[in-house]
Amino acid sequence: MKTRFETCDVKLTPLSPIHISSGNPDYGWGAVWLPSQEKMFILDSERFSQKLVESALLDKYIESVEKWIYLSDTEKEKQPNPCFTFLRDNRQFLFPDINIEKFVKELSITELNAPNKTRFIRNGEGHAYIPGSSIKGAIRTAVVYAMLEEHKRQTKIDYLNDTYLNSMLDGKSTIPSDTKSGFDTRKGMDKKLLESILEDFELIEKDNCGSPVMLHRGKIDNGSITNLMRAILVSDSTPIPHIQKNLVDEDIKIIMLDNPNSCGERGLNKNALPYAIKENRKQCYEPNQQPIITFKITIDHEILRSFSENTTLQKFPIIIQNLYDIKKIIDKFFTAVWKAEEEYYLDFLTIYSNNIREEKMIEKVLDFYDNETNTYPKLLPNINIGLGSGMLCKTLLIAVKEEYQIKIRNLQMTQRQIENQNRTINGRGNPVDWTKKIAPNSRHLVFRNSDKFSNAFSPLGWANLEFGSITYEDNAL
Report residue 354's pLDDT band, with 50, 70 and 90 as the boundaries.
Answer: low
**Residue 454 has what pLDDT?**
60
Task: Give the tens place of pLDDT for each residue, 94-143.
Answer: 888 888 889 988 888 777 665 556 778 877 667 889 999 899 999 999 99
Predicted confidence (pLDDT) at residue 410 exceeds the cutoff of 80: no
**Residue 180 has what pLDDT?**
76
Q: How far apart are CA 232 and CA 296, in angstroms?
A: 10
- Tell me the three state secondary structure of residue 443: strand
Higher pLDDT, 438 or 99: 99
**Residue 278 has what pLDDT?**
47
Amino acid at 130: I
How much of the chain, in percent, has pLDDT values that exceed 70?
71
Predicted confidence (pLDDT) at residue 349 exceeds the cutoff of 70: no
CA distances to 336, 352, 393, 420 from 433, in Å: 30, 20, 20, 11
Report residue 192's pLDDT band, with 50, 70 and 90 as the boundaries.
Answer: confident
As a whole number of Å, the CA-based R_g of the chain is 25
Predicted confidence (pLDDT) at residue 309 exceeds the cutoff of 70: no
Number of Cα atoms under 13 Å in the Cβ half of residue 391: 22
Q: Which helix (H) or strand (E) holds 132?
A: helix 132-155
Number of Cα atoms under 13 Å in the Cβ half of residue 418: 15
Q: How far apart are CA 41 and CA 20, in angstroms?
A: 19
Please, which residues bridge with residue 357 across strands?
Answer: 352
Task: Of 81, 86, 72, give the one whose Cα is nearest residue 27.
Answer: 81
**Residue 433 has what pLDDT?**
72
DSSP state letter for 240: P
Q: How far apart are CA 310 and CA 291, in angstroms?
A: 46
Strand 203-206, strand 352-353: pairing:
unpaired
- 148 neighbors 340 (Cβ within 8 angstroms): no
Task: Give the tens place of pLDDT for each residue, 240-292.
Answer: 987 778 888 888 877 766 655 555 555 555 555 444 444 577 889 998 767 68
Cα angle 181, 183, 186; round to 5: 110
- 8 neighbors 234 (Cβ within 8 angstroms): no
* Phi, psi angle pair for 323, to nearest 5°: -65, -30
- 228 neighbors 198 (Cβ within 8 angstroms): yes
| SS3 of 134-185 | HHHHHHHHHHHHHHHHHHHHHHCCCHHHHHHHHHHHCCCCCCCCCHHHHHHH
Strand 212-215, strand 5-14: pairing:
unpaired
Average pLDDT on 42-61 reads 86
Task: Give the tens place of pLDDT for each residue, 209-244.
Answer: 767 665 555 444 445 567 888 889 999 999 998 777
Which residues contact residue 154 at a Cβ distance below 8 angstroms, ignoring those fewer than 6 apart? Answer: 317
User: What is the average pLDDT score of the chain?
Assistant: 77
Predicted confidence (pLDDT) at residue 79 exceeds the cutoff of 50: yes
**Residue 436 has what pLDDT?**
66
**Residue 359 has what pLDDT?**
44
